[in-house]
Amino acid sequence: MTNVNARPANHHIPGPGGADLDADPPVDLVDRVAIQHEAMAKAARQELEQAAPENRDGYMLQNEADAALVAICATAFALEALTRELDDLITLPGHVGSVAAQPTASRQARLGATEAVGRSKGLVTVWTRELAWLFGVRGGAMRYEGMSKPTQPHPVGMNVSVAQVTYSPENATRAVDLLLGILVRCRDRPKPPVRGWSNGTRHVVDELVSRRR
């Protein structure tokens, strides 16, 4: 049976002047965006810390949260793209029934990652927890409900919104740590069906790891 939702192996969309553009951005592009904005969030935090209390303002806080939000969301998108690539190489456990019974984004990402590499129970536990956190935070950014919640203390001593605490440099780092941890594991411990893909993307993972140092 033909899967009407399947994307052709070389799916392109026309770009300016008739040039072809990939319908999905390359995984490494989204990864770079995540790493870049993690660094931007950290730089914004440093600016806040170095500013005199009377000179700290909402724009500094906004710069920090904006960069962290992009880093976190880009990480989630990168892991979804990685899952789609791995799904072409491995057989994930089947899912039947209604749409409601289909795996969540975090579970699908965890299945893709854990089925592609040699794994331990501890690794599965960590990835399950961290992916659920990541996609929960990403979901909150995509489906903001506008609920009013009490302010929380910011590390520099100001009281800020819950969103400002959620989209923080610390959480940007937590997200990128997860992303690179999965990519490095796919590079170093791939199962046989994934070895060709792993060898072909090794230089990409190496470059991403070095970019973050």
pLDDT at 178: 95
Q: How confident is the model at residue 213 (pLDDT cuts 50, 70, 90)?
A: confident
Nearest to 80 by CA among 109, 102, 103: 109
Task: Considering only CA atoms, give the Rg of the chain.
Answer: 19
Q: At residue 97, does pLDDT exceed 60?
A: no
pLDDT given at position 37 = 96
DSSP category for residue 117: B
Mean pLDDT, the chain, rounded, equals: 79
Residue 47 has pLDDT above 90, yes or no: yes
What digits encode the pLDDT tens for the residues 69-95? 999 999 999 998 888 888 878 766 554
Provide the token pair at 210.
Answer: 């070095």
Residue 28 has a pLDDT of 77
pLDDT above 90 coverage of the chain, percent: 41
CA 99, 100, 103, 104 dihedral sign is positive
**Residues 6+ away with beta carbon under 8 Å from 185:** 113, 117, 119, 123
